[in-house]
Copies of this chain bind each other. A is one copy, B any other.
Amino acid sequence: MAKIKVGVLGATGTVGQKFIYLLEQHPFFEVSDLVASERSKGKKYQQAVVWKQDAEIPANVKDLTVKTYDEPLTAKIFFSGLDAAVAGDIETYLAEKGNVVITNSKNHRMDKDVPISIPEINSEHFEILKKQPYPGFIVTNSNCSTMFLAIALAPLHKKYKIKRLFVSTLQAISGAGYPGIPSLDILGNVVPFIGGEEEKIESELKKMLGTFDGQQIIPADFTVSAHCNRVPVIDGHTETVSIEFEQKPSVNEIKELLSSFQGEPQQMDLPFAPDYPVIVREQDDRPQPRLDANLYKGMATFVGRIRECNVFDIKMVIMGHNTIRGAAGAAVLNAEYLYKKGYFDSII
């Protein structure tokens, strides 16, 4: 069967590179369009990019010619790693032209008719795509630090209702893109601030764990307080969380619920779906970004140190690979799901 041609928007950037890296040998998709800015237009990809992935540039991509978004493109499905400064308009433009845009950029996340999708936990939100005014459509995934919270907390919220939660993050530098954070700022240091990040966690999480009532997504009604910190880690966001529930579960109930949790992507056996979305670690000192983030192809969410909290009910540590499950890999999984569910049928 012929693979579906896909394009990568922002192909020379960090997230764009990760898309290209992850899509090498994908069973459904094949990269046919590389879209970047005027500066790269007309160059071969290997000349245009400062490739920073832990792998060679895929052979079928390195000689593709980089285009701009307004040139004729061969794909109808696009993965977007565009910078927020331009993502909003370009993504809208492409959706208006009848394309699917599966984006990691923040611009459309809080739009009323755009879902922030994780097929394991809120696939019913995809229904809202019908409300979009375009012949194509736009699907987003969440901010990287929100992703792991959403995945780990969704089964808990469904069963025990979250009332309030604190989260304090220790986020990897790859989350800031390239060149991103100057080494003089972060080597042997902590920066206790990431612009806009706390607000994103506090709003996106509630939307993602909200309910679709047929017309709109009603955000979950718990309260979130986030503290965001940058630490000198390459990949893997660690999050310490304290949670208050309506009905307090036991530590063991949480372990069982999380470690057995599976969603539609697991049933559908999608290529980027990990066997279990959540891996529960029993060792005191796990999860750790350097030891765990790359396991299960970077698509698992790790939860450890599940224990009683003095102030709320339960505390725990949540960790995942911020540029795979937290960004490009999440978008690929969204695409796989949409494709298998027929959302691409009218488009390609």
A contacts, CB < 8 Å to B:
52-56, 164-166, 168, 170, 173-174, 178-193, 195, 202, 223-225, 227, 229, 231-234, 236, 238, 240, 242, 284-291, 294-295, 304-305, 309-312, 315, 317, 319
Contacts and interface: CB of A to CB of B under 8 A. Distances in A.
Contacts of A179: 179, 182, 184-185
Contact of A54 (B183, B294, B305): B294
A291 B54 CA distance: 5
B183 A290 contact: no
Contact of A183 (B182, B236, B315): B182
Nearest to A317: B192
A185 B52 CA distance: 8
Contacts of A225: 242, 309-312, 315
B227 A190 contact: no
A311 B311 CA distance: 12
A170 B285 contact: no
A270 B201 CA distance: 45
Please state the number of chain copies in the assembly.
4
Contact of A187 (B54, B234, B238, B291): B234
B304 A192 contact: yes
Contacts of A164: 311
Contact of A311 (B174, B188, B224): B224
A305 B192 contact: yes
A233 B188 contact: yes
Given A54-B294, A288-B191, A310 B224 contact: yes
Contacts of A173: 183-184, 187
A309 B54 CA distance: 30
Contacts of A291: 52-54, 189
21 contacts: A166-B166, A166-B311, A170-B190, A170-B229, A178-B184, A180-B182, A186-B187, A188-B188, A188-B232, A188-B233, A188-B289, A188-B290, A189-B233, A189-B291, A192-B238, A192-B285, A192-B304, A225-B242, A225-B310, A227-B242, A227-B315
B234 A232 contact: no
A288 B187 CA distance: 11
A87 to B, nearest CB: 21
Nearest to A185: B183
Given A189-B290, A310-B223, A311-B224, A170 B54 contact: no
